[in-house]
Amino acid sequence: MSLHVNQQMKRRYAAEKRFKAYAITALTLAGAFLIFFFADMISKGLPALQQAEILVDVHYNDSSMQNYKKAVDKPLRRIVSRGYLRTLPLYMEDHPELMGTNESRWVLATADVDQYLKGKPHRLKSKYQKQIDGLLKAEKVRLAFNTGFFTRGDSKMAELAGIRSAVIGSIYVLFLTMIFALPIGVMTAVYLEEFAPDNRLTQIIEVNINNLAAIPSILFGLLGLAIFINFFGAPRSSALAGGLTLALMTLPIVIITTRAALQAVPDSIREAAFGLGASRWQTVWHHVLPLAMPGILTGSIIGLAQAMGETAPLLIVGMMAYVPDAPGNIMEAATVLPAQIYTWAGESIRAYEERTAAAILVLLSVLLSLNTMAVYLRKHFEKRW
C-alpha cells in the first residue's frame, strides 16, 4: 500500500519537475532571443553614432559659386561629401560677407570614407585609401559624434541621412492620435460603463468594439484612406491623415482598458456618492473617473506605444514616403520613425545598415520609456481595494 503511495508521490514530483523545466526552458529561450536581438542591434547601431569628418579649407569665392566642387582643393573633392559642398552656393548667397575668404573647418566625408575608417565593407579606391591614411596621420580626418543623425532628415547620401524629419513626423502623428483617441475613447467607455442600460444594442456595440481591437491594423489604413483622404480630403501622406488613422486603431484599446479601469472601481464608492445625494454625473466626474485615472492612463500609453510602432496602416495613407524635410504643420507630408526604418532597410547602399540599426535603437528606447512610464503610473497611483 505505502509502496503504491510512494510511487504516486514520485510521479507527481517528477511531473512537477518536468513542468518547471519546461517553463524555465521557455523563459531562457525567450531571454536568449531578446539578448540576441539587442546585442545584434546595439553592435550594428552604435557605429552610426560616429561619423567621419575631414578638416578642409573652404574657399568662398565666385568660382565656387559657379561650381561648388571648386570650394575645396582638387584632391579632396572625391572624399568630401557632395551633400555638404552642394549647399555652399546658397550659403554664400545668404552670407555675402564671406565672399573672398577661406575658412578651415571640419566637414562631412563621404559614406565610403566613413565605412573605410570603421573597417566595414566600402568601395573606396586604393588611391583614396592611401590619401585617407595620410590624412589620418596628419590628424585631418576624425570620427566625431554624429549630431547630424539627430538634426537632419532622410537623405539618399548615407553620410547625411538622419532621423529628424521622421521623429518630428512621429511626434505630430502621436499627438493627433492622442487628442482624438483619448477623449472619444474615454467618453465612450464612461457612457457604456456608467450610463448605458444593459440591453441588446449596447451588447452589440460591446462585441463590436472587442472585435475591432483584434482586426489587422492594415484594415484601419484602408478605412482611413476611404474616410479621411477620399471623403474629407485630408492631404495624402500628411500627419493629419496618419494621426486620425492611428486614432481609429487606438480607439478600441482605449475603450477596453478604460472600461476595465472603471469596472475596478468598487460599487461602494458609487453607492456612497449616491447616498449623499450626488447625481450620476457628479459621481462619475468627482469620484469614479479620478480613481480610475491611473488605469486609463496606463492603457492609453500602451495604446499609443502600439500606434507609435505601427507601419501598415500608414503605408496605405501614403506615409511610407521619402520626406527629407521635417513637416511644418499637420497638413504637410510627413513620415514616421518605423517607416523610416523600413525605407532604410531597403537601401542598396551598405552604409545604411548601421543607420537602420541606430534608428531601431532610438525607436526601442522611446517605446521602452513609454512602457516604463505606464508601469510606473500603475505602481504608484493604483489604489487597491
Partner 1 sequence: MKKQHAILMAATFLGLAFVGQAEARDQIRIVGSSTVYPFASYTAEEFGQTTRYKTPVIESTGSGGGMKLFCAGDSMDTPDITNASRRMKAKEFKLCAKNGVNDITEVVIGYDGIVIAQSKGNDNINLTRKEILLAVAAEVPNKDGSKLVPNPYKYWNQINANLPHRPILFYGPPTSSGTRDAFADLVMKKLTKKMDVYTSLYKADKMKNKAYKKYKTIRQDGVYVPSGENDNLIVQKLLKDKSAFGIFGYSFLEENSDRIKGATVEGVTAEPENISSGKYPVSRSLFFYTKNSHASKVPGMNDYVSLFINEQMIGEEGNLSEIGLIPLPKADRNATRHRVVKHIKLTAEDLKKK
| 318 near partner 1, judged by CB under 8 A | yes
Among 23, 26, 90, 375, binds partner 1 (CB under 8 A): 90
Strands 50-60 and 101-108: antiparallel
Rule CB under 8 A: choose which of 107, 117, 135, 234 binds partner 1. 234
Question: Applying CB under 8 A, does 89 fall inside the site for partner 1?
Answer: yes
Q: Considering the complex, state which of residue 134 and residue 183 has its C-beta at the smaller distance from partner 1.
A: 183
Measured from the CB atom, the residue of 110 and 217 that comes closer to partner 1 is: 110
290: contact with partner 1 by CB under 8 A: no
**Residue (of 333, 346, 338, 330) closest to 310 by Cα position:** 338
Residue 255 makes CB contacts below 8 A (sequence gap 6+) with: 185, 188, 189, 192, 209
Q: How many residues make contact with partner 1 (CB under 8 A)?
A: 39
Under 8 Å CB-to-CB from 320, ≥6 apart: which residues?
Answer: 311, 314, 335, 339, 342, 343
* CB of 142 or CB of 164, closer to partner 1: 164
Instruction: State the binding string over 113-152 for partner 1 (x if CB under 8 A, else -).
Output: --------x-x-----------------------------
Any idea which residue has 519546461 for its cell?
A: 22
Binding mask 235-274 for partner 1 (x = CB under 8 A): xxx--x----------------------------------
Report yes or no: 197 and 264 within 8 Å, Cβ to Cβ. no
179 binds partner 1 (CB under 8 A): yes
Please report whether residue 325 would count as binding partner 1 according to CB under 8 A: yes
Residues with Cβ within 8 Å of 318's Cβ and at least 6 positions away in sequence, in order, are 229, 236, 237, 241
Residues 224 and 251 sit within 8 Å (Cβ to Cβ):
no
Q: Which of 12, 17, 86, 286 binds partner 1 (CB under 8 A)?
A: 86
Nearest CA to 202 out of 255, 242, 250 is that of 255
